[in-house]
Copies of this chain bind each other. A is one copy, B any other.
């Protein structure tokens, strides 16, 4: 391991989930061992890139043997901290919030979805994916009792500032942000993972119009 995970390049960090995903697929296909050459072909990276990436965390490969798939899969899961099951709340149970709740396996990805909050009386009290939708007015008491560390923001941009400010004051330290509100600019100390689906769609528009490809999994070389 490097002295601190802060020393590891953002791109290595962003590739870790991808390694985890590929290795999981290999495991499910009963593949126990893979060379860095084979892994690199599957992932569209160079073998040297993979060795460099994994060396950031201490290696894991064996000369002439390659990688033990299960071991590497579990190690990457440990590096990501997927076993920690960070308590997370969903704010905004409209179409997108509902889709994420049902579509995402939070547990597999290191989180425990402990609460869903909305302002719409029509859905308050209903359940989505086994979790009850509560009234936003109950959020403060909930946070003080259950201590969620993360929140998914599926709310309009106009509501995002106040909701985030409150959540931060109640102990939330990380956001999965679908709101298009620039949280990092206003709360620079908060951990934010933005998802801009609209930007992604406009990028596709450019690529189709120009018949060009913007490598969807860019390398930092």
Chain A residues at the B interface, C-beta cutoff of 8 Å: 4-6, 10-11, 13-14, 16-18, 20-21, 42, 44, 79-82, 84, 86, 94-96, 98-100, 102-106, 108-111, 149-150, 173-174, 176, 180, 182, 184-185, 191-218
* CB nearest to A41 among chain B residues: B185
Residues of chain B with a CB closer than 8 A to A13's CB: 203, 206-207, 212, 214
Q: Do A210 and B44 touch (CB < 8 A)?
A: no
CB distance from A181 to the nearest CB of B (A): 10
Partner among B82, B195, B206, B207 whose Cβ is within 8 Å of the Cβ of A202: B82
**10 other A-B residue contacts (CB within 8 Å) besides A13-B207, A13-B214, A191-B207:** A13-B203, A79-B206, A84-B205, A98-B99, A108-B198, A109-B202, A174-B207, A184-B213, A184-B216, A191-B213
Q: Do B210 and A81 touch (CB < 8 A)?
A: yes
Residues of chain B with a CB closer than 8 A to A99's CB: 95-96, 98-99
Residues of chain B with a CB closer than 8 A to A215's CB: 10
How many copies of this chain are found per oligomer?
A: 2
Residues of chain B with a CB closer than 8 A to A201's CB: 104, 106, 109-111, 176, 193
Known contacts: A99-B98, A150-B208. The answer to whether A200 contacts B176 by CB under 8 A is yes
Known contacts: A193-B216, A205-B82, A215-B10. The answer to whether A17 contacts B199 by CB under 8 A is yes
A interface: dominant SS = helix
Q: Do B198 and A17 touch (CB < 8 A)?
A: yes
Q: Do A185 and B150 touch (CB < 8 A)?
A: no
Q: Do A84 and B149 touch (CB < 8 A)?
A: no
Partner among B5, B44, B184, B206 whose Cβ is within 8 Å of the Cβ of A212: B5
Q: Do B10 and A214 touch (CB < 8 A)?
A: yes
Residues of chain B with a CB closer than 8 A to A109's CB: 198, 201-202, 205
Partner among B18, B98, B196, B207 whose Cβ is within 8 Å of the Cβ of A196: B18
